[in-house]
Amino acid sequence: MGMMWLWLGAGLAGAQAQDDDPPPENPLVTALQDLRSDDVAARRRAAAMLGNLAATEAAKDLIKALQDADVEVRVNATLSLAKIGKPHAKAAVPQLMTHLDHAEDNLRVAAMVGLATLAEPTPELIAQLQKQLRHANPLVRQTALVSLGRFGPPASGAAPLIRNSLRDRHPDVRKAAIFALGEFGQVPEVLLADLRAFRQDKDPLVQMEASAALWKLAEDEADFKALLLHVKSRDAAVKTQATATMQRIGRSLTDKHLDMIQKIIKDDDQYDFATRSQVIYMLAEINASHSEPVIRFLINQFSEAGIRESAKKAIARMGERAVPLLVEALKDKNELMRREAAYALGECGPHARAALPHLIEGLKDKESSVRQACARALGMMGGSARDALEALRQAENDEHSLVRQRARNAIQQIERATNNDD
């Protein structure tokens, strides 16, 4: 959820705090020992550390820590279990359900974070989360709303009650209510009207969340454009959250959104390169079943100097899904396309293993810029490109000095990685 899970850090005072001591030689063993210590400070640190380590083997010990006498140990253990996730930490769900009525608000909040990650949206859990919407603490209300949103359509029966939260006096609660409604997939028209009113809210962060929710619910091009304008904001907080929101909604994009997005980024000159780059990063989050048209679109951006680098980085985040189409671009008639495809394959690193023979062949390309790019890409693949060493040694005799240098660098990278693997 990105920024919506803000309580994983500062939202829970003191939770998950770390000291400045250097990490132990075997942090997992040390943390498991400290979790059973008589020193409460050591138990608190250990409960947090095990989540930072994503130590799945510690799930059982952390579940036991949910009954610790110290509330902060229980909070940290809960957040760590949420980080470990399913299936390893799912057994914590019954204990977390009992924490929803705890007198300590921080433990309630942590329990909701854990349940939203580990539990199924049962009627009992949805009812318990709705009950939290009437709590006096705004952080409890906010967390309940985001947890309901995390469950998506199965929690949509809570929409009428969430409508009351749209009028909450705390802007963070209102934003969470808007977020939740946007995740439900479909809401009554009266709630869409309420959301449209938030386009004019005095808080720009509330405006932005409303635009994101409305775009997901009604797919209005105006709302997507409004979200892009927030990405351009001079207010750092607005810009940061807009960027996180773009990445979040990217995960729910489907084919029907692509034409509109591509038209905006191609034809609308009111958006600067930074904003268009952010749209490109958003596209990298798209569901795998819709990735081919996105990858083709991103490859076409190689010809745009201002957003070329963003396109390559976005493709790299798509990993192996992008390799077949990049190999296709590596055979393009255009020198620039071949060169940038090779660079993009390098950004994919070991994920581009299937492209190895094509990059080796690219070392013989008629254009020196393509040969340089292929050598660089092979080096970035590390030990997975060891089969290219012979071809790279031949490239050390290339007529162009930069190709020779790239080949030498790649050989060093591959040999270093191979030695480390051994």
Q: In CATH, what number is assigned to the domain containing residue 77?
A: 1.25.10.10
Helices (H), 219-303: 221-231, 236-250, 255-267, 273-283, 291-300
pLDDT confidence band for 304 (50 / 70 / 90): confident
Give pLDDT, residue 69.
95
3-state SS class at 308: helix
Residue 96 sits in which domain range?
1-119
pLDDT tens digits, 78-134: 999 999 999 999 999 999 999 999 999 999 999 999 999 999 999 999 999 999 999
Position 400 in a domain: no
| Domain count of the fold of the chain | 1
* CA 358 – CA 371 distance, rounded (Å): 12
Position 2 in a domain: yes
Cβ 403 vs Cβ 368: under 8 Å: yes
Give pLDDT, residue 398.
95
Mean pLDDT, the chain, rounded, equals 86
Position 256 pLDDT exceeds 70 = no
Give pLDDT, residue 257.
63
User: What would the mean pLDDT of 320-332 be, rounded to a whole number?
Assistant: 94
Position 64 in a domain: yes
Cβ 343 vs Cβ 376: under 8 Å: yes
For residue 188, cis peptide bond before it (omega within 30 degrees of 0): no
* CA 375 – CA 368 distance, rounded (Å): 11
* CA 179 – CA 146 distance, rounded (Å): 7
Give pLDDT, residue 278.
67
Position 88 in a domain: yes
